[in-house]
Structures are given as structure tokens and as C-alpha cells.
Amino acid sequence: MVDEANARLVILGPEHPHVAKATNSPALQFASEMLEKRGEAPRLYRNMLVFLAADASRLSELEDAVCQYLAWSAIVKEVDDEQLDLDAFSRGQARTKKDSASGTVDQRLRETFIWLLTPHQDDPRSPQIDWSESRLQGQDALPERAAKKLQNDAALIVKYGGVLLRMELDKHNLWRGGDHVSLQQVWQDFAQYLYLPRLAGSSVLAEAVQAGVQDVGWTENFAYADAWDEEKQRYRGLKAGEATGVLINPHSVLVQPEVAQRQMEADRQPASGPVGAGGSGDGDGVVVGGGENGPDGGTGVAQLCRFHGTVQLDALRLGRDAGQIGEEVVQHLTSLKDAKVTITLEIQAELPDGAPDDVVRIVTENARTLKFGNYGFEEE
């Protein structure tokens, strides 16, 4: 089997059935071998594989159904080849039996191939690989059922966020101690290491980068650049705090936010030049007091050194509104030299019917993960 950086479902043959909760299950043994090697070579992209196996106790029923189908198929073929002389009624009955047997085989396949085997590694420092076994249910095709189960169990990620990506970058030192890291390297890490989330494909990573870069709080995430110019010691196509296209190739990089800020601030520095004695013209200050007749008897220039603002956001369009505020207000403030911009998001929610336990658990856990300073549910 090829070694590719794309999530794949491997359906094991009936000769490798699974026995529930058995560590010596033929399916687990064979899946472990496939996970480690591709032919004679070591497998690289191990985090891209999940396995589907037959239940050992249901195989005999599937085999019986297949035998019935093959038998009726052989009879119909002999009839079609005029090797078997049957009347019209018998020919029709043979075809009906064949179709019925085919339906039975389909049903037995859904009932037999029910064990989803997923490898993961809880401790990056340990070579121990653990396996999760989960039972498929439903009447959909096997791949569709497997995909739904994996997504429900968070064992296959089809949508990923910039904040979560940053957490994994820091937690497992995917930055490798540098100011930036190749985006292609990041994707290879996710495809390879079993202790990282299993992303469905590189497009999921690209979308997570887009979300993290255009987030109004991008300084907590990362910036993106088309390439690092070693000769000029600067990033080409540096993007932060705005929507951007993302390419995963050997040149594109994720950039530490403080490093990106330094380059952007340096790029924004105006060329120095003489300033008129009267203080008017191209100065950045605001002239008050009527020029020479100002309060100090000369030119009065007051510096506006603080800004504050409060705005109410639409909870159903939070991403759009926050992005617009980031582009039209925050970006202009952060562009000023030595500016220190603090943004606080306050959430007030009135819940007339109360919050169910699962919502309380999810919101509380996410608030803690996202480092909310003050949060909690209250009784009326």
C-alpha cells in the first residue's frame, strides 16, 4: 500500500478479523504491521491511516451469504449461456434468487465489517502505540459510516481552528525553536505523528492557517509569509490580521507573531525629513489654539495618546464583525510605533431555559483552554 499524506480508510480482508477487546486480535496484529511498514520500507505518514475490520463472530454468516450468491450466479450464467435448459418460470426464479442473495450479501457486509480501529499515541516520548476500537452502526455505505464515526469521536478533523493550531505548535515544539517554520513541514508533522490531531487533508491545515492569520487576535496565533528571503533577511508576502490565500509548499512559512510585528513596524517607518519651524504642514500632531496665539504663546500641539471604544457585535455574525473591526480600526492602531493595543471581549448571555449539561461542559472547557480571565455560569 502506498504511503501518502492523505487520510485513508484501510478495509482489512476477512482473513484478518477482529475480536473485541482482544490484544492479540488478527486485525490488530495485521494493522500494526501495516502501520509500521510499507512493504519493506518504514511507513512515514502513519497518522493518515485508520482501519476497518470484520467481526470474527459474524464471518460465517457472511461466508454463507456469499456462497448462496455465487451458486445462484453460476446457475443464471449457465441459463444465459444455454448450458442449462430451464422453463421461463424457473429462469425467472433463478434470477430472483440471485438478486435476493446479492441483497443479503450487502446486508451481511454491513453487519460484519463493524470494527473501526484507530491508532494514537498519548505520550510523544513513548514508542507505545495505543488502539481505539469503536463499533459502526447504521445502514450507510461502510466508508460513510466510518467517516461519520471518526468525526463524531474527533479522530478525524475536517475543520480546524487557528487557536488550536497554535496550541499544538507550542505544545510539541513544532516551531523547532525558530522564528518561523515551513508550512510543508507542519503538514508532514501532522501526517506523521500519532500524538497530533488527524486532519483529513492538507486543505484543513490551510484553512486553519487562514483563520489564524485573519483573526483579529492574530498576535496570539501566527503570521503567514510566501517565503523567507535568506539573502535580505526578511519575509516575502508577509500577511497578518487580514484575509489571505495560503499555499502549502516548500517555501511558505508560519511566522512567530512578534517577529512578524517587527518587520511590519520597520516597513511602516516613514522616511525622516525636516520639519517646518511653524509646526504646521506634514506633522502628525493636531494643531489647537489658533497657531501662534496658542496657550503657550507659540504653536500649540497636543498629542492624542489614547483611544478607547466599545461596540456591540452580532452573535450570529461574530467572525464577520470582528474581522471588519480588526481591519478598519485595530489594524490602524497597531500600525503606530510602540503602540500597545489591548482588546477585551465581554460575553453576556441570558438563557431563559437554562444551559444543558453538555453546553456547560463544552463552554467551560473551551473558556479555560482559550485562557478566559473570568468566566462561569450562574444561577438565576
pLDDT value at residue 271: 53
pLDDT band at 289 (very low <50, low <70, confident <90, very high): very low
pLDDT value at residue 325: 83
- Pairwise pLDDT comparison (113 vs 318), residue with the higher score: 113
pLDDT value at residue 280: 38
pLDDT band at 312 (very low <50, low <70, confident <90, very high): confident
Mean per-residue pLDDT, 279-297: 38
Phi-psi label, residue 196: left if phi above 0, alpha if psi -120 to 50, beta otherwise: beta
The β-bridge relationship of strands 286-287 and 41-42 is unpaired
HEC secondary structure over 87-125: CHHHHHHHHHHHHHHHHHHHHHHHHHEEEEEEEECCCCC
Confidence check: pLDDT of 368 > 80: no
Confidence check: pLDDT of 310 > 90: no
Helices and strands: H and E segment counts in the chain: 11, 13
pLDDT value at residue 278: 39
State the pTM of this model: 0.68
